[in-house]
Amino acid sequence: MSLLAVKSLEARHGLLQAVRDVSFELDEGDTVALVGANGAGKTTLLRTIAGAHRPAAGRVIVDGTDVTDVPAHLRVRLGIALVPEGRRLFPDLTVEENLLTAGAHARPGPWNVDSVLAAFPLLRPLRRRRASTLSGGEQQATAIGRALMSNPRVLLLDELSLGLAPIAVDAVYASLRPLLESGTAVLLVEQDLARAMSTAQRVVCMLEGRVVLEGRTATLTRQQITEAYFGLRGGNGRVSVR
């Protein structure tokens, strides 16, 4: 049984259908990169899985439990955590206070303030600093740490490197390494294809709300992903590469 199963999921913004009949699964320990051009539906898909956006159809199943109608705060207790695009920190709270906001109703597990600061050592000297004074990379590390405080089984990371300098991206991904090896399932939205392919075991590519390509990174070429990314492959069907 998969840890996370998305079944024929559809989501709308008014009359706009942003997610169209999307299905895929994540097992414990999987790292899957979700790629696609702007407007492909990636953020809406993550928000729908997390319970922040109501689906129009389909199901979200966590460890065999249908959570499609379960509100977002209860999905956190079931092990789903979202790091949203733009970080969404509390700007007037310190790093430590931002972490503690997520830890108040956490699942049992290894993540707490001390273990987060150990995983993200760049945050240790900043724990008393307000989030509004941090750099982009420091804010992103805080946002990931805040999500980890809930001790998730499935971590959804939206646009991890967006707006960050390359050196900050390197630091954030280096800090993520222990998490990726810990057994937590990770669904990662990443625009940098090279970074996505070097980090994830599988790639799911979306185009106009649909999954058009899925496969293991070891069996996919950059050209295949790029063609699917821009809709250059021809045809509208889904291609799975095992």
pLDDT tens profile 109-120: 889 999 999 988
pLDDT tens sequence across 18-38? 999 999 999 999 999 999 999
Residue 85: count other Cβ atoms within 10 Å of its Cβ.
17
pTM for the whole structure: 0.90
The pLDDT assigned to 174 comes to 85
Protein fold of 4-87+152-241: Rossmann fold (3.40.50)
Instruction: Please give the backbone phi and psi of residue 44, each rounded to the nearest 5 degrees, phi first.
Output: -60, -40
CA 94 to chain centre: 24
Backbone angles phi, psi at 117, to 5 degrees: -65, -30
Residue 218 has pLDDT above 80, yes or no: yes
* Every domain of the chain and the residues it spans: 4-87+152-241
